[in-house]
């Protein structure tokens, strides 16, 4: 739902989610956790802002009772003080029947394709949501606009599209076991 790189999502610590009750909560991913050149990793102005849709908030609220006592949203099963493996999402997709049909990073391409088709005039903002660096070096140096209001709208539109006709998140997470293990996680991602 967030269009973040899978590795950034899987290693997300709970401390990055302070106020889920805000009217438009924003997840601030520190620059040090983003795919950036080493020289920019300490630059707070390069932190990535991720507007959280209503559905993303619901996922986080449902997840907190399950993993909120560990440092990470998705803790490692053997070592709860570490995040789950970056391969965990791919493993779950494979177990849900998507082997050789979809990979976790493919959600970013899907987000870009679908949103650019639907919102042709928002290409720059969609790239910003993907944390892509502008190809024009001059623009990247001078234009630091965040376009946060529009990003909130687009994040909500994407989540609405993903979750149309889906059962509520709390019901997905309360499933004891689906016929194909991992299917409930694939639906959430």
pLDDT at 140: 56
Give catalytic status of residue 124 as yes or no.
Answer: no
> Is 95 a catalytic site residue?
no
Q: pLDDT tier at 137 (50, 70, 90 boundaries)?
A: low
What confidence tens digit (pLDDT) does each residue in 64-119 have?
999 999 999 999 999 999 999 989 989 988 999 988 888 888 899 999 999 999 99
Predicted TM-score (pTM) of this structure: 0.80
Does the pLDDT value for residue 152 go beyond 80?
Answer: yes
Residue 37 has pLDDT above 70, yes or no: no
Considering the candidates 46, 108, 151, 183, report the single residue annotated as catalytic. 108
Number of domains in the chain: 1
Q: What is the pLDDT of residue 170?
A: 76
Q: Give the tens place of pLDDT for each residue, 115-136.
A: 999 999 999 999 999 988 766 6
Among the options 105, 118, 123, 170, which is catalytic? 105
Give tens-digit pLDDT for 6-29.
999 999 999 999 788 888 899 988
b/e code 26-50 from CB counts within 10 Å (16+ = b)? bbebebebbebeeeeeeeeebebbb
Is 105 marked active-site?
Answer: yes
Mean pLDDT calculated for residue range 155-164? 96
Name which of 135, 136, 100, 130 is nearest 112 in CA terms: 130
Confirm whether 1 is domain-assigned.
Answer: no
Q: Roughly what angle, to the nearest 10 degrees, separates helices 148-163 and 106-118?
A: 110
Contacts of 187 (CB under 8 A, 6+ apart): 166, 172
Query: Per-residue pLDDT for 171 more than 90?
Result: no
Residue 136 covered by a domain: yes
Question: CA torsion sign, 98 to 155 to 124 to 118?
Answer: positive
User: Is residue 145 classed exposed, middle or buried when 0-12, 13-18 and 19+ CB atoms within 10 A define those classes?
Assistant: exposed
79 is catalytic: no
Alpha carbon dihedral 71, 36, 102, 153, in 10-degree steps, equals 80
Q: Is 167 a domain residue?
A: yes
Contacts of 124 by beta carbon, 8 Å cutoff, 6+ apart: 147
Structural domain boundaries, residue 176? 6-188
Residue 144 lies in a domain: yes
């Amino acid at each position: 739902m967030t269009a973040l790189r899978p590795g950034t999502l899987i290693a997300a610590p709970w401390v990055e989610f302070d106020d889920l009750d805000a009217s438009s909560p924003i997840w601030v991913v520190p620059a040090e956790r983003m795919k950036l050149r080493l020289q920019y990793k300490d630059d707070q102005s390069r932190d990535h802002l991720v507007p959280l849709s209503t559905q993303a908030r619901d996922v986080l609220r449902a997840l907190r009772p399950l993993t909120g006592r560990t440092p990470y949203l998705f803790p490692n099963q053997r070592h709860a003080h570490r995040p789950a493996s970056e391969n965990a999402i791919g493993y779950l997709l494979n177990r849900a029947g998507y082997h050789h049909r979809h990979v976790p990073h493919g959600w970013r391409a899907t987000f870009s394709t679908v949103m650019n088709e639907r919102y042709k005039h928002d290409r720059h903002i969609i790239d910003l949501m993907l944390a892509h660096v502008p190809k024009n070096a001059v623009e990247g140096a001078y234009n630091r606009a965040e376009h946060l209001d529009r990003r909130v709208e687009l994040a909500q539109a994407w989540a609405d599209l993903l979750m149309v006709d889906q059962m509520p998140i709390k019901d997905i997470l309360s499933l004891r076991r689906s016929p194909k293990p991992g299917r409930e996680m694939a639906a959430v991602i």
